[in-house]
Amino acid sequence: MVKAIPAYFVDGLNRIPDLISIIYYQCNKVEL
């Protein structure tokens, strides 16, 4: 069942935390 998951989908899930942290950092930098 794991092999049925597309690689790009898994890669996208792995990138979500990075995107959140980048956006969070940019927002904090703007406020400062």
User: Whole-prediction pTM value?
Assistant: 0.48
Measured between alpha carbons, how far is 11 from 31 in angstroms, rounded to an integer? Answer: 31
Kindly list the averaged pLDDT for each block of 10 residues, start to end, along the chain of length 32: 76 91 89 63
Q: Give residue 22's pLDDT.
A: 93
Domain definitions of the chain by residue range: 1-32
DSSP state of 7: H
Q: Give residue 1's pLDDT.
A: 55
18 — alpha (psi -120 to 50), left (phi > 0) or beta?
alpha
